[in-house]
Chains A and B, each alone.
Chain A
Amino acid sequence: MGEPAVQIADVSKAFKIVKEAPTSLKARIMHTRRRADDFWALRDVTYDIRPGTTVGLIGPNGSGKTTLLKIISGILRPTRGTVTTRGRIAALLELGAGFHQELTGRENVYLNASILGLTRKETDKVFDEIVAFAGLEEFIDTKVKFYSSGMFVRLGFSVAVHVDPDVLLIDEVLAVGDEGFQKKCLDRITHFQQEGRTIVFVTHVVDQVLAICTEAMMLVEGRMHVAGSAQEAVDEYRRVLLGDEVAVIESHPTGEVEIMSVQTFATDGRSPLAMAPGDDLTIQVDVRTADSIDDPVVVIRIHDQHEILEYSENTANLGVNLGRFEGKRRFRFTLHALPYTSGEYTLTALVRSRDEQTVYGIKEHQEGFAIPAATDRPAVAYIRTDVDVEDL
C-alpha cells in the first residue's frame, strides 16, 4: 500500500580517514592537504520501508547500522545514492539530547522536545504524560545535575517516546533502565505499532527483533547481507555471527512433539520458589506425540535471571535410549544438591533428533525455581563443605 515511508536507494557512505588533517589555520597554510583514505561504512544499500512496518536493523559492531540511521534522519548525507523519506522523522540516537545539567527537569523536557521537533504547545499537551511515564513527578523541578543516571535516562526516553513522529528511528537506546522501565518502553513501542507508525530499530538483542519487528535486515561490513522477515534475518544472524546453528534449528521446531508441561518439585514437597542451597530438585517434563518418532533425545536446560545458560543435560548423555517413541510420556530428572546460593532460574525443555539436526518440540523459559538470597552467603556457588579443626 502507498509509497514507502523510507526509500533507501543504492546508498553508500564513505568516511575520510585522514592521516593528519590540518586542524588549524596555521597548518592549513603551511602545508598542502594530506592524502585521505576512504572508509566505506555503507555500500550500495537498497531497501524500501513500507509505512506501518517495524524493521529491525541487525549486524555486528561496525557494520554500518548507526550510519544508516543517521543518513535516514539527515544527520549525515550519503556519499552515493538517495534516501527519500515521507513524514516527520524522529531519531533516538541519544537519550536526552541537549540536556543541560544546570536546567531543571521541566526546562530540559521543553528543550529536548523542541530539539526532537515538538512545538511548545505540543509539549504542553503531553508534559504531564512525559513526567508520569518517567516517574519523576517529585523531581521535575530539580536540576538534572542532581539526577541519578537512571532518572536522567528515564526522562530522556520519556520525552523521546512522546514525540509524535511518522517514522521513529531507535538506536539501541532500549537497553537502558531497569526491567520495569524496559517493559514500559516496549509497551510504548507496541502502541506506536498499533497506531500504524513506521519504526526502524537497531539492536543487538535478536529476541527483541523477533518480539517487535515485522521484518529485518542484516548488515555486514556495510553491505546488506540479508533482508526479509524478522525470523529469516535472525536465523542468518545466529548462523553467521553467533555460529549458532543449533539456535536456528531450535527456532524452527517441526511441532511433531508437544511438550505439555515442564514442572519443578522440591523433594520434600516445599514450593520450588523457596529452595535452599544444596537441596535436591526434580524436573518433570510431560511430552505428547501424534506420530511415532525414532530415537529422540529429551533436553533440559536451566537459565539464570539474565538468561545465561547455567546447565544443560539430556537423556542421551544420561545413557537412556528412548527408541521408538509414540503417545504420552513423563520424564523425571532429579538434580542433586543445587550448587547455587541464590537466584531465580527458568527451565527449557526440548525434544530433538540424536544428530541435532531436527527439533521436534520446544518449550522455553518456563517458571523454574528460586533460591531466596541469604545474607550469610554473598557468593554465587554453593559447595557442600566440611571443616575439621585440630590443635597444632
Chain B
Amino acid sequence: MATTARTDRTTVRTSESPRLRPLARARDVWAYREILTNLVRKDLKVKYTQSILGVAWSMLNPILYLAIFSFVFTFVLKSDIPAFPVYLLSGIIAWTMFSGSLTLAVKSVVDNTSLVKKVYFPKEILPLSSVGTSFVDFILQTIVLLIVMIAFAYPFLGLNVLLFPLALVALITFTVAISLFVAALNVRYRDTQHLLANALLVWFWFTPLVYPAGFLQKTLSDVGGINLFPVYMVLNPLADIVFGFQRAFYAEVQPPGAPNPILIDMSIGGLALLQVGVIVGSLLLLWFTWRVFFNRSADFAEEL
C-alpha cells in the first residue's frame, strides 16, 4: 500500500482554541478535497437519481421562474423591460446560486451529525460542499440563460461579458463567507435555518431581480434630496454582484424602446471596480466568518 506525504506530519492538540491561520488551514482543507468532491457528487446523485427528468430539474427551476415572472410582469403588471427573460435570468442565476448555497449550507453541519461525531476532517468541507452543489446548478442555469439569449436572438454585447468572471468570483467569495457563518450558527441555534428562509425572501425583493435596477437607482438617488443609492450598494453586496451579472449578459443600460434605464447607470469600468470592491469586502467578511466557523468547529462534535 502506498504511503502519502502526510505520513511524517506531527499534530499537536491542546486545550487552547487554535488560532486560524488561513493559509495553513486552507492547505488542510485542500488535503481533504476528495471528501468535498465526493460529497458534491453524492448530493447531485441523490438529488437526481430516481427522478425521470434528472439533471433537467436544475434547468426547470429557472424556466419556471421565467414563465411565472414573465407572465406577471409582462401581462399583468405591463412591465416595460424589453427582452424580459434575458434580464430576469441574468440576475436570477446569481441569486439562485447564493440562496441555494445558503439553504443547503445552513443545515450542512447539522445534517452530517454522524460524520462530525465520528470522523476527523476539516469541517469547512461541509458548507463548502453546499456551495459546490449549488455551483453545479449555477452552471446548468447559465446554460439555460445562453439558450434563452440565442432563442431571443439577443446580441452578446462585447466587452460587457468580461464582467462575468469578475462578478462570479465576487459571488463565490461572498457566498462562501455567508455560508460558513450560517452553518456554524445553526449548530447552536437551530432556528437560524428558519430565520434564514425568511431573510432570503426579504432579500430577494430587496434586490432588483424582477424589477429594473435602473428604477431602483433612480428612486434611491433622490430620497428627500439625499442620494441613498451608495448606502444601498454598501448594505447589499449581493445587489452589486447582480448588477455585474446583469451588465454582463443583458448589457444595455437603456435598450431602444425602453422609456427608462433598465440597468444601473454606471460605466463598465465602474462596475468592474465595484466587483473588485465586493471581492475585497467579501474577503474581509470571510476572514471574520471563517474565524467564527473555525473556532466553533472544534466543539461541533460536542454540541450536536
Which residues of chain A come closer than 8 Å to B114, judged between CB atoms?
94, 97-98
Query: How does the 8 Å CB contact mask read for B1-34 relative to A, with 1 for contact and 0 for none?
Result: 1111011111111110100000000000000101
In this assembly, does A45 line the interface, its C-beta being within 8 Å of a C-beta of chain B?
Answer: no
Is B189's beta carbon under 8 Å from chain A?
Answer: yes
Are B15 and A22 touching (Cβ within 8 A)?
no
Judge whether B13 and A82 touch: CB under 8 Å.
yes
Q: Residues of B contacting A324 with CB < 8 Å?
A: none
A91 at interface by CB-CB < 8 Å: yes
Contact status B8-A75, CB under 8 Å = no
Q: Mark A66-83, 1 if CB is under 8 A from B, else 0.
A: 000011011111111111
- When A71-B13, A76-B301, A100-B46 are in contact, do A25 and B192 touch as well, CB less than 8 Å? yes
Give the number of residues in A that approach B within 8 Å (Cβ atoms): 51
If the complex has contacts A25-B192, A86-B9, are A93 and B118 also in contact, measured as CB distance less than 8 A?
yes
Asked if B15 and A76 sit within 8 Å, CB to CB, the answer is: no
Q: Which residues 107-165 in B have Cβ within 8 Å of A in the complex?
A: 112, 114-121
Query: Is the Cβ of A166 less than 8 Å from the Cβ of B7?
Result: yes
Which residues from chain B contact A23 at a C-beta distance below 8 Å? Answer: 188-190
Contact of A78 among B7, B15, B121, B190 (CB under 8 A): B15
User: Across the two chains, which residue of chain B brings its CB closest to A83?
Assistant: B13
- Whether B301 lies near A88 (C-beta < 8 A) is no
- Which residue on A lies nearest to B6, using beta carbons? A88
B-side contacts of A83, CB under 8 Å: 12-14
Task: Type the 1/0 row for A235-256, where 1 means its CB is closer than 8 Å to any CB of B.
Answer: 0000000000000000000000
Contact of B120 among A82, A87, A91 (CB under 8 A): A91
B42 touches A103 (CB 8 A): yes
User: How many Å lie between the Cα of A111 and that of B40 in the bound state?
Assistant: 10
Question: How many positions in chain B have a CB within 8 Å of any CB in the partner chain?
Answer: 46
- Say if the beta carbon of A305 comes within 8 Å of chain B: no
Q: Which residue of A lies closest to B17 (CB)?
A: A77
> A102 an interface residue at 8 Å Cβ cutoff?
yes
Interface membership of B38, Cβ < 8 A: yes
Do B190 and A88 have beta carbons less than 8 Å apart? no
A208 touches B (CB below 8 Å): no
The answer to whether A125 touches B2, judged by C-beta atoms less than 8 angstroms apart, is yes
Please state if A103 and B46 are interface contacts (CB–CB under 8 Å).
Answer: yes
Hey, which chain A residues are within 8 Å of B76, CB to CB? none
CB-CB under 8 A from B202, the residues of chain A are none
Q: Is the CB of B119 within 8 A of A86?
A: no
Cβ of A84: which chain B residues have Cβ within 8 Å of it?
A: 10-13
Chain B residues lying within 8 Å of A71, measured Cβ to Cβ, are 13
Pair count A-B, CB < 8 A = 133
- Is B49 engaged at the interface, CB distance under 8 Å to the other chain? yes
Which B residues touch A299, using CB under 8 A? none
B270 nearest CB across to chain A (Å): 38
* Min distance, Cβ A5 to any Cβ of chain B, angstroms: 10
Q: In the bound complex, what is the Cα–Cα distance between A84 and B39 (angstroms)?
A: 30
Please, how many angstroms separate the alpha-carbon atoms of A264 and B50 in the complex?
61
Interface stretch (choices A112-120, A182-190, A220-228, A267-275)? A112-120
B164, chain A: closest CB distance, angstroms? 31
Q: When chains A and B are docked, how far (Å) is the Cα of A82 from the Cα of B115?
A: 24
A103 near B45 (CB under 8 angstroms)?
yes
Q: Any chain A CB within 8 A of the CB of B201?
A: no
A122 at the interface (CB under 8 A from B): yes
CB of A32 closer than 8 Å to a CB of B: no
Q: B3 to A164, Cβ gap below 8 A? A: yes
CB-nearest residue of chain B to A24 = B191
Whether A28 is near chain B, meaning CB under 8 Å from some CB there, is yes
Complex formed: what's the CA distance from A94 to B116 in Å? 11
Does B280 lie at the interface of the complex (its beta carbon under 8 Å from any beta carbon of A)?
no
A94 touches B118 (CB 8 A): yes
CB of B42 within 8 A of CB of A115, answer no
**Cβ contacts under 8 Å, B12 to chain A:** 82-84
Residues of B within 8 A of A289 (CB): none
Whether a CB of chain B sits under 8 angstroms from the CB of A31 is no
**Residues of chain B lying within 8 A (CB to CB) of residue A340:** none
Measured CA separation A291–B128 after assembly (Å): 74
* Residue of A79, A83, A115 with highest tally of chain B CB at under 10 A: A115
Contact partners of A26 in chain B: CB under 8 A = 191
Min CB distance B254 to A, Å, is 44
Mark each residue of chain A from 92 to 114: 1 if its CB lies under 8 Å from any CB of chain B, else 0.
01100110101100010011001
| Cβ contact within 8 Å between B10 and A85 | yes
B64 within 8 A of A: no
Q: How far is the CB of A265 from chain B (nearest CB, A)?
A: 50
Check A126 for interface membership: any CB of B closer than 8 A.
Answer: yes
Shortest Cβ distance from A73 into B: residue? B120
CA distance A333 to B163 in the complex (A): 95
Would B301 and A70 count as touching, CB distance under 8 A? yes
Please tell me if the beta carbons of B46 and A102 are within 8 angstroms of each other in the complex: yes
Residues of B within 8 A of A100 (CB): 42, 46
CB of B35 within 8 A of CB of A87, answer no
Q: Closest chain A residue to B121 by CB distance?
A: A115
**Which of B11, B39, B301 contacts A85 (CB under 8 A)?**
B11
Q: Which of B209-251 contact A (CB under 8 A)?
A: none
Q: CB distance B119 to A91 under 8 Å?
A: yes
- B13 cross-chain contacts in A, Cβ below 8 A: 71, 74, 77-78, 82-85
10 pairs, A vs B, C-beta closer than 8 Å: A76-B301, A83-B14, A84-B10, A88-B6, A94-B114, A98-B119, A102-B50, A107-B41, A114-B37, A122-B2
Top 10 A-B residue pairs of the complex, sorted by shortest distance between their CB atoms:
A114-B34, A74-B120, A94-B118, A164-B1, A24-B191, A93-B118, A25-B189, A111-B38, A83-B13, A102-B46
A28-B189, A75-B116 given; 10 more Cβ-contact pairs under 8 Å:
A23-B188, A25-B195, A86-B8, A87-B7, A98-B114, A100-B42, A102-B49, A117-B32, A118-B34, A125-B1
